[in-house]
Amino acid sequence: MAVEVREQVVEAAPAYDVARVRDDFAIFEQKIHGNPLVFLDSAASAQKPRQVIEALRHCYEEEYANIHRGVYYLSERATEAFEAARVKVQRFLNAGEAREIVFVRGGTEGINLVASSYGRAHLGPGDEIILSHMEHHSNIVPWQILRAEKGVVLRVAPIDDDGNFLLDEFEKLLNPRTRLVAITHASNALGTIVPVKEVVKRAHAYGVKVLVDGCQAVVHMPVDVQDIDCDFYVFSGHKLYGPTGIGVLYGKAQLLESMPPYQGGGEMIRSVTFAATEYNVIPHKFEAGTPHIAGAIGLGAAIDYVSELGLDRIGAHEQSLLAYATERIGEFNSVRMYGSAKHKASILSFTIEGVHPHDAGTILDRQGIAVRAGHHCAQPVMERFGIAATVRASFGLYNTVEDVDALAAGVATTLDIFG
């Protein structure tokens, strides 16, 4: 019997060329205290490639006017560019429709919008909201504000000592009074990646809506909101190598339509008389006032940038750095690491015995190494581990093996100075 042999030509993907990537970031040309910049704080805010800066320049120098109102050429061009950015975000998240993408100032405003609009309209006394133990303050405080106003109850889904999210423990919290789950996709303090698709599945079984805080996730991996099936998803532009002051709230169209406006003003109305106002359709209903036009366009450029590199390849590059860093930093007997979840983003949180993180941050800084030292705006999870602060090194698409070596050398210097 003849066997058909089919030859398969597999083209090897080109290796991730981090040196070329770094050339896109002018900030690496400078020295910090006489040393090359080792930037390990992208989880707080990422550096910007020339492509994003060029998009901002192009917007302001060549295509700038207010949007959605002018009948003239420049306004049309600016409106087109702004709405094209919305479509880029839609594709980036694989949202079903562009009108499900609301531009906001950042992840924080996205959550506040949902708490304020959806929360006030749909939640009441005794209704329960489930958060995880490792939420950023921005996914805790808006719900506490709602609690003070509406009497909702906040429940906290636990994590284990490695920082793993405990899906079954979470499920036990679901009950007929549960109305909403507001949960991080990836923890900024521990790096833990939460199985949000499974969270959504179990929450939806109880008819509970789910908001996912994707600020630390969209930068490391491809995200598909239709696959996750979450009801809301938020992220910030500035952590995704885009401008500050711009972020995204994705919401299912039907939900956004059922929600009252967040702020009143221009843009969000269809007609206004002193007797009554007819609101605009989504997403414009939630975009009162002149938005951050250049910011949205810059975010679009950032999305083009990471998409061209490929989120899968960026993630793989960062994971190899995380593995190497975990090994190198783990070699120090006096270092204790926090967060070793099975699935984690490229975030390394640690303390050095006898050295306060703030002091370590100062010593590393003098060697040109930028890390975050503190509670990372996630005090409840710090408390969970009985610590006030950690040193956090986070790895982005431009970091290198040499950066990890510099961090290890920096920790050694820190120990040396502290005797």
Partner 1 sequence: MFDDLRELYQEVILDHSKRPRNFGRLEANNRRARGHNPLCGDILSLYLVIKDGVVEDVAFEGNGCAISMASASLMTEIVKGKGEAEARELFERFHRLLTSDDADPDLLDLDKLAVFAGVREFPVRVKCATLAWHTLTAALDGQTDDVSTED
Binding site for partner 1 (CB under 8 A): 354-359, 362-363, 366-367, 373-375, 388-389, 413, 417-419
3-state secondary structure (DSSP) of residue 49 = coil
Do residues 337 and 385 touch, judged by C-beta distance below 8 A?
no
CA distance 170 to 344: 19
Nearer to partner 1, 180 or 373 (CB): 373
Nearer to partner 1, 178 or 367 (CB): 367
Structure tokens at 364: 């590393």
For 284, the 3-state DSSP assignment is: helix
Report whether the peptide linkage leading into residue 49 is cis, meaning its omega lies within 30 degrees of zero. no
Residues in the chain: 419
Q: What is the dihedral of CA 298, 302, 307, 308, to 10 degrees?
A: 90
User: How many Å apart are CA 37 and CA 402, to the nearest integer?
Assistant: 11
Residue given tokens 């699935």 in the structure block? 343
| Whether 179 contacts 128, CB under 8 Å | yes
Phi and psi angles of residue 150, each rounded to the nearest 5 degrees, phi first: -115, -10
Q: How far is the CB of 416 from partner 1 (least distance, A)?
A: 9
Tell me the closest approach of the beta carbon of residue 161 to partner 1, in angstroms.
22
- In whole angstroms, the minimum distance from the beta carbon of 360 to partner 1 comes to 9
- Show the CA angle centred on residue 234, arms to residues 231 and 240, nearest 5°: 145
User: Could you list the active site residues?
Assistant: 377
Q: Work out how close the CB of 389 gets to partner 1 at its nearest, in angstroms, rounded to a whole number.
A: 6
Q: What single DSSP character describes residue 375?
A: -
Residue nearer to partner 1 on the CB measure, 77 or 137:
137
Name which of 322 and 355 has its Cβ closer to partner 1: 355
Nearest to 107 by CA among 140, 145, 152, 147: 140
Q: Which is nearer to partner 1, 22 or 356 (CB)?
A: 356
Strands of the sheet with 335-338, listed across from one edge: 335-338, 347-352, 390-394, 372-374
CB of 212 to partner 1, least distance (A): 28
User: How far does Cα 317 stand from its chain's mean position?
Assistant: 18
Q: Alpha-carbon distance 23 to 41, whole Å?
A: 19
CB 137, min distance to partner 1, A: 12
CB closer to partner 1, 184 vs 367: 367
- Whole-number minimum distance, CB 81 to partner 1, in Å? 38
Between 14 and 419, name the residue whose CB sits nearer to partner 1: 419
C-alpha 262/C-alpha 273 separation (Å) is 19
